[in-house]
A and B are shown apart, each in its own frame.
Chain A
Amino acid sequence: GDSVTQMEGPVTLSEEAFLTINCTYTATGYPSLFWYVQYPGEGLQLLLKATKADDKGSNKGFEATYRKETTSFHLEKGSVQVSDSAVYFCALRDPGGSYIPTFGRGTSLIVHP
C-alpha cells in the first residue's frame, strides 16, 4: 500500500539557518504530495502541495519539489524563524482512490533565537 517516510526529529536549528526535512514515498500510481504543518496546540494546516512530477509547491518561504525519479518531496526553507517551530507532516493522496491522505509520522522542528 501507499506509505510516506519522513526523517526523524527533532530537528533543532538556530534562527536564519537553512532547513531540509526529507520525505520519500511509496505509491502505486501518481499521487499528489503535500506538506502540512501543526503548530503547538493547533490542528494541521496545509502548507504546500504538488500534483505532478517536477512541480514545485511553495508557501511562506517553504518549498518542495515533486521528484518522481527519487520518489521524494523534501521540504526546504532558506532561513528559518523561531515562529516556524512546529511539527511538519508529509502526505500523499492517491488520485485514483479516496480523498484521504496517507501521512508520515511527522518531524518536529525547533528553532532557537
Chain B
Amino acid sequence: EAEVAQSPRYKITEKSQAVAFWCDPISGHATLYWYRQILGQGPELLVQFQDESVVDDSQLPKDRFSAERLKGVDSTLKIQPAELGDSAMYLCASSGRQGNEQFFGPGTRLTVL
C-alpha cells in the first residue's frame, strides 16, 4: 500500500541551529501539505503545495521557516534558526488533485534544546 514517507522520524537540535525535514508523498498526488502538531493539540497547516506551487502559506512563520517542492514531487521544510517553541511533531500529508482525502506520513518529532 502506498504511503507518505518522512525523514528523519526524530530530530534533536539546539536552539539557533538549522533543521530540515523531508517528505515524499504518495506517487501521483498533486497536493502536499505540511502541518505542525504541538503536543496535546490538533495539527495546524503550515503550507500547502499544488504541484510545485505554494497555494497557502499564510500560517508559515516566514522569518524562520521555508518550504519548497521544486519538482512537484518531494518536499523539504526548513527551520533556521530553530527556537524552543518549535518543538513539535511535523506532519506531511498528500492528496489527489481533488483533495478529497489526505493521507498522512508518520511525522518528524522535533525537540529543540
Interface residues on B, range: 20 to 34
Chain B CB within 8 A of A1 CB: no
With a cutoff of 8 Å between Cβ atoms, the chain B residues found around residue A104 in the complex are 42
Q: Which residue of A lies closest to B95 (CB)?
A: A99
Interface residues on A, range: 10 to 19
State the majority secondary structure of interface residues on A: loop
Query: Which one of B95, B101, B105 contacts A43 once the chains associate, using CB atoms below 8 Å?
Result: B105
Of residues 66 through 111 on chain B, the ones whose CB sits less than 8 Å from some CB of chain A are 91, 93, 95, 99-102, 104-107
Question: Which positions in B face A, CB cutoff 8 Å?
Answer: 4, 6, 9, 31, 33, 40-45, 48, 55-56, 91, 93, 95, 99-102, 104-107
Of all A-B residue pairs in the complex, the 6 with the closest CB atoms, nearest first, are: A103-B42, A99-B99, A43-B104, A44-B104, A43-B106, A43-B105
Question: Which positions in A face B, CB cutoff 8 Å?
Answer: 4, 41-46, 89, 91, 98-101, 103-106
